[in-house]
Amino acid sequence: MLKYTGHPLVDVGIATIVAFVGKRDPTDLTEEDIETVADYIAREYIRQPLQSFLTVAFPNSGFTQPAFEKTPERRLDYAERVLRGYRAEVPRLEETCVFTGEPAIAIAFGDKQGLPLGRAFRQHIPLTLGEDTINFHPYGDAGLPVSGKALLAIQAFPLGCAKCGGRLLAVHSDNEELTLHFAKAFLVENRKSVQLAQAAGSTKMPEPHFSHRTLLIDTLLQADEMQTEYSEDEKLFSLTIYHLSNSGQGPALDIYQLPFEISGFLREMQQAQYRLEWQAIVRRAWEVPPETKRKSKKDEPFKPSRNWLYEDLFDLPDNAARFIRTYFLRVAMRYARDKTDPRVDYSLRDEANLVSWKITARFLRRIMHMDKERIESIRNMGDQLADYVASQNDRRFFRDFYVVQRYEQLRTALVKANLAHVRRGNAPIVTLDPYIEVFEEGDEVARHDWRLARDLVLIRMVERLYERGWLGNNVDALPEESDDNSDTEA
C-alpha cells in the first residue's frame, strides 16, 4: 500500500509506520495497519509529552497550537485532514503529489481563505514555507500538492527520529533496511520515553544520553547488516543524516554524510579477524570522568556521552592523516580542551598493544583508496626497519625516525642507518625503488603525504618491535610527542 519515494521525510515516516506495526516491507502494509498508526497519532499527538516534542517538527499545527485546545471539533477535523487522506473516498485532484507522483488530495489544509486545495504548508511539512509566503512557488500558488499517503508518512516522521540538542535526528539510506533499522530503533526509544513521561506526569521526553554523532554510529553498529559476512565486491551502503528543527524561532538543518567507504570499513571491523583489536581501540576513545577535587555521595556514576573515534568518522577522509596518527599510532592530542577527552593521554609507551597494522591496512584501502602495491611497500619497509632496530639495538635511529619534522631529516636518518648497516657487511636496509614509492614523487621531490607515509611505516615497526619484545625492553626509546604540529607539511 505504501512504497519508498527517495525523499527522507516521507521514507523515514514510511519506515516508522512499517516498524510500528512490526513489519519489514511497506508493500505488505494493509489499510488496517495504517489506521492503527493514524489512530495512535490522533490520540497521542494532542497529549503530553508528544505535544511538546512535536513543536520542533510541526509548530502551529493543529496538534500543537493552544488555540485548537479550546475547540476539540477543530482539532478532530485537523487530524482527519492530515491523517486520513489516504482513504479511497477522499476526493483527488488532477495535480500530482510532489513526493509520490500520485494525485494530490482535494482537501483544504490552510486556515486562510482563498488557498488552493491539496496544498500543505510549514505546519504540515517541516522546512517548507508558510501560508503567507508565495515566493519560489510556480504561478504564485503557495504550498506543496501532497497525497494522503505522503502526508500521513510525514506526520509519522518525528516518531522515527531521535531528539538531540533540541532538534530531530533522522537517518536516510540507499539501503532500505538501514532506513527501517534507524526508524525502528528511534521509535522504540520514543514510545518508551512517552510511557515513562506519562507515568511521571512529565511534559518532556528525555533526550538520548549520547551526542548525535556517537548515537548514530552506536545505532548503526546494532544493525543486522553490520553483523553479516560480506564479499569484497558486495554493494555497500551510505547514510545521510538530517539534524533539523522546524521551529518558528530557529529553523535549522545540518546534513551529515556517512559514505559507503566508512560504513564498509565499520562493517569489516565487526568481523572476527578484526573485532577484538578494533573494539579495544574504540573503548579507549570514550569520554573519561573529569578530575574533581571532591566527590559527593550524591554524585551519580559518570556516563560517557561521546566517543571521539565515532565523532571523527564524520570528518573522514579529510582528517585521515590525523585519524591514523591519533587512533592507530596513539599520539596524544595535547590541544584537546575537553577535560573528558581521553586523547590527551594517549601514549605509545602505554598502548603499543593497540597498534595494529592489519586494521591500518584496511583503513588505507577502504577509506583512502590507497593502492595495494604502495601499502605492501610500506609494510615491507616497516618490517625491514624493525628488524634492523631489533638486531642492532639502534635506539637512536628509532627515536630520530619517530620525531623528524622535516623531510631532509627523515632521508638523512635513513641514509645513515643504511650506510652503517652496509659497513657491517650487511645488505642495505632500504633500497632505492621501494624508498621512492613510499616517500618520493621522483627526482628527490618528497611526496605531499610523506609524514603520513612515515607514520604508516612507524605503525608497522611498532607492531613488529612489540611482537619481538624489543619495545617492552626499550620503552624509554619512545618519545612522548604531542600532535600539536602533526598537520604541518615540510
Q: Residues 433-442: pLDDT tens digits?
A: 999 999 998 7
Q: pLDDT band at 490, cuts 50/70/90?
A: very low
* Amino acid (one-letter) located at 382: G
Is the pLDDT higher at 5 or at 138?
5
What lies within 8 Å, CB to CB, of 267 at 6+ separation is 225, 226, 230, 236
Rounded Cα gap, residues 357 and 284, in angstroms: 18
pLDDT at 135 (0 to 100): 62
What is the Cα Rg of the chain in Å? Answer: 29
Q: Taking residues 51-61, what's their average pLDDT?
A: 90
Distance, CA of 355 to CA of 460 (rounded, Å): 8
Cα–Cα distance between 18 and 37 in angstroms, integer? 9
**CA–CA dist 459, 145 (Å, integer):** 58
**Percentage of the residues of the chain whose pLDDT score is greater than 90:** 70
| 288 or 74, greater pLDDT | 288
pLDDT tens per residue, range 289-324: 987 655 555 667 888 999 999 999 999 999 999 999
pLDDT confidence band for 482 (50 / 70 / 90): low
For residue 386, give the 3-state DSSP assignment.
helix
CA gap 58, 124 in Å, rounded:
6
pLDDT tens digits, residue range 323-374?
999 999 999 988 777 789 999 999 999 999 999 999 999 999 999 999 999 9
Taking the complete model, does pTM exceed 0.85, yes or no? yes
Q: Please report which confidence band the pLDDT of residue 119 belongs to, taking 50, 70 and 90 as the band edges.
A: confident
Instruction: State the average pLDDT for the chain.
Output: 89
Q: Tell whether the model's pLDDT for residue 487 goes beyond 60.
A: no
The pLDDT score that the predictor gives to residue 344 is 92
Q: Which one-letter amino acid corresponds to residue 317?
A: P
Q: Enter the C-alpha cell of residue 2.
A: 505504501
Lowest mean pLDDT among 83-87, 121-125, 406-410, 442-446: 442-446
pLDDT at 481 over 80: no
How far is Cα 53 from Cα 46, in angstroms, rounded to an integer? 11
Given a cut of 50, whether residue 88 has pLDDT beyond it is yes
Mean pLDDT of 221-240: 79
Mean pLDDT of 279-288: 97
Place of cell 622535516: 406
Q: Which of 377, 330, 373 is nearest to 355 (CA)?
A: 330
143: left (phi over 0), alpha (psi -120 to 50) or beta: left
Give the span between the Cα atoms of 246 and 244, in whole angstroms.
Answer: 7
How crowded is residue 466: how many other Cβ atoms within 10 Å of its Cβ?
17
Residue 489 confidence (pLDDT): 42
